[in-house]
Homo-oligomer: A and B are copies of this chain.
Amino acid sequence: MKKTMVELRVRYAETDQMGVAHHSSYFPWMEAARTELMRDLGMSYRELEDRGFYLPVREAFCRYMRSLRYDDIAVIEAEVLQMSGASLKIGYRIREKESGKPVAEGYTLHPFVDSYGKVVRMPDFLRRLFDSAEL
């Protein structure tokens, strides 16, 4: 399974008054990892949208095991967990870089949608890309 790794430094703006990264911050991080995963698979998400296809989020889940502090580096690993004609499930593991300790894990589920907002089957060019990436 192809995995993509992204490193992001926790921003001050992402902390809350508990002194740790706010739980909602993790979803944009997962999204950033998803962006790189797509690029690694051979088509940037920007290009996908330019071709008229979108991957809105149908479900988002995160389990938090440890917290991250300002200036920590989060390593976010993303991989395709499941792929059907109708949707794509992507999994994430987040760890703190220095200690290597697991911080959080989660997934997002995405239907394929066209530019009219209609749910469609996965476009062929994407399926070919995914197949050649041996997902």
A: which residues have CB within 8 A of B? 9, 11-20, 22-24, 27-28, 31-32, 35, 44-46, 49, 54, 56-64, 67, 69-71
Contacts and interface: CB of A to CB of B under 8 A. Distances in A.
A134 B56 CA distance: 39
Number of copies: 4
B23 A11 contact: no
Nearest to A44: B71
A63 B108 CA distance: 10
Contacts of A44: 71
Contacts of A60: 23-24, 60-62, 64
B12 A54 contact: no
A16 B11 CA distance: 10
A35 B46 CA distance: 29
Contacts of A32: 9, 11
Which residue of A22, A24, A64 has the most chain B CB atoms within 10 A of its CB atom? A24
Contacts of A57: 23, 64
